[in-house]
């Protein structure tokens, strides 16, 4: 794949993945998880894993990197949702 195209993909990957970080940070700090929808994040995680498989098939590093990071952030949010809901 052309380098210039992958650069666009990587910038997009950084922007859309980093948009998750404030939510993870806020949830960790406030421990308030009522607003977090478990089903929404499970749907999103499934979608992100499929994008990961898609990226591997079409050999797009930006899609792979973006969805790998996003999957980790969502798993972190799901972990907080389960842990902080019990308290």
3 binds a second copy (CB under 8 A): no
Whether the Cβ atoms of residue 81 and residue 33 lie closer than 8 Å to each other: yes
85 binds a second copy (CB under 8 A): no
Q: Applying CB under 8 A, which of residues 13, 64, 71, 73 lies at the interface with a second copy? A: 13
82 binds a second copy (CB under 8 A): no
34 binds a second copy (CB under 8 A): no
What six digits make up the tokens of 8? 């666009």
Integer Cα distance of 27 and 33 in angstroms = 7
Whether the Cβ atoms of residue 73 and residue 81 lie closer than 8 Å to each other: no
30 binds a second copy (CB under 8 A): no
Whether the Cβ atoms of residue 63 and residue 55 lie closer than 8 Å to each other: yes
Q: Applying CB under 8 A, which of residues 28, 31, 46, 82 lies at the interface with a second copy? A: 46
14 binds a second copy (CB under 8 A): yes
């Amino acid at each position: 794949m052309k380098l210039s195209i992958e650069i666009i993909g990587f910038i997009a990957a950084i922007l859309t993945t980093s948009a998750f970080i404030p939510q993870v940070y806020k949830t960790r700090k406030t421990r308030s998880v009522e607003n977090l929808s478990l089903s929404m994040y499970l749907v999103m995680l499934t979608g992100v894993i499929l994008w990961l498989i898609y990226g591997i098939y079409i050999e797009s590093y930006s899609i792979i990197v973006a969805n790998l990071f996003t999957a980790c952030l969502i798993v972190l949010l799901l972990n907080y949702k389960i842990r902080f809901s019990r308290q």
